[in-house]
Structure 1
Amino acid sequence: MADNTLSNTARKNIAAVRDLAVEIRKGRSRIDRITDAISGFAGTPRFLVAQMVIIGFWVGGNFVLPTTNRLDPYPFEFLNFVLAVEAIFLSTVVLMAQNRQSREATEQAELHLQIGLLAEQETTKMLQMLRAIHARLGMSASAHDPELQEMIQTTQVEVIADELRRTREEVEGATSEPTEEAKGPPSDVKPA
């Protein structure tokens, strides 16, 4: 049977991530907490059921009441107004919550990038040390492996970013170019 216990390092990492999440949650402003609560509730089945019940009572009540006592007779103009205002309010609240989540995601992505760069630097240093050990032990063939030579080079983030940008532009350009059929015949071919 496999041992399902976590190492102390794994426990420390889990605690560090949890603490970071708690710190981020504590750093939210009052309006952030309010918009999160509203958008959180508005995205639940309970909200949908509550909407259906309220609208059902509104419509049913206006049909059951005598014509003279109806608050909002058919075609329910006031109900339409209330629902339109609610839609504007909810969409604004959801956008505010999404903007905050986007800011947090950007901060986490920057943190991941920094950690990744540190890990790459540490790995490069270890490879350099291993190459030195191999050379010292007379294992020069493995110390001069071309693939190892590439791995030991310091990663240039700017070069990788430029290459990714260039590749993305090529892909976007390839998908936006018209097909051969859409281009029509070449200019040197005369239509029959």
Structure 2
Amino acid sequence: MSEHLLSGAVSRNIAAVRDLAAQVRSGRSRIDRITDAISGFVGSHRFLVAQVVVVGVWVGINAVPGIGHIDPFPFEFLNFVLAVEAIVLSTVVLMAQNRQGRESAEQAELHLQIGLLAEQETTKMLEMLREIHTKLGLGAAAKDPELREMIQTTQVELIADELKRSRTEEEPSSEPGPA
């Protein structure tokens, strides 16, 4: 039902974004898919419940008097297993986060390129509109200082430098102040 409300361009854009995401997913290595699956499971309620049940059963079996204990209190083997598990799982999660970070950086670069292209197209349209306005004898637009400023080519490097400068001005100084 909602398909009929969307324009063809919007539908094509949705399909293009979906195809791009599928292409990124299909380009992942086997180890990336494995680490994503493990990270997904480890970050779930099912894993938490399973972990609590396994540890509870282990402690229960090894704490009951009169039964031959595999790992008597203070459960050194259990501590060893949990420590190794923590190391392995933290490494797997970091691997998944690193891959996600790379994908995010690529996506941000794509967004920047699309934004710059849109800015260039908008600037060109403003130039054309100003020319049309001038040819029709409506000269006020040609004198508009805001329009002249908008028509200027965006200098990405200058904007990036200004952003860096403003961030450093906002960051609190780590040097101790006067006492």
Q: TM-score, normalised by structure 1?
A: 0.89
Question: What is residue 135 of structure 2 aligned with on the other side?
Answer: 136
Partners of 1:27 and 1:56 in 2: CA distance: 41
Question: What is residue 148 of structure 2 aligned with on the other side?
Answer: 149
Partners of 1:160 and 1:177 in 2: CA distance: 26
Q: Which runs of no fewer than 5 residues in structure 2 stay unpaired? A: none
Moved more, 139-148 or 79-88: 139-148
Question: What is residue 113 of structure 1 aligned with on the other side?
Answer: 112
- Give the match's secondary structure for 1:183: coil
Matches within 5 A, 1:50-61: 50-61=50-61
Percent of aligned pairs with the same amino acid:
70
Question: What is residue 188 of structure 1 aligned with on the other side?
Answer: none
Any idea what the Cα deviations from partners look like across 1:11-64, whole Å, max 9, x if unmatched? 000000000000000000000000000000000000000000000100000122
- Give the match's secondary structure for 1:107: helix
Task: Report the CA distance between 1:169 and its aligned residue.
Answer: 1.2
Partners of 2:158 and 2:126 in 1: CA distance: 21
Greater Cα radius of gyration, structure 1 or 2: 1
Question: What is residue 74 of structure 2 aligned with on the other side?
Answer: 75
Matches within 5 A, 1:1-192: 5-64=5-64, 66=66, 69-172=68-171, 175-176=172-173, 182-184=177-179
Letter in 1 for 2:109: E
Q: TM-score, normalised by structure 2?
A: 0.95
Judged with a 3 Å threshold, the aligned counterparts in structure 2 of structure 1 residues 177 and 92 are, in CA distance, closer, same or farther, namely: closer
- Give the match's secondary structure for 1:176: coil
For the aligned residue pairs, the C-alpha RMSD in angstroms reads 1.6
Q: Which runs of no fewer than 5 residues in structure 1 stay unpaired? A: 185-192
Partners of 2:52 and 2:173 in 1: CA distance: 44
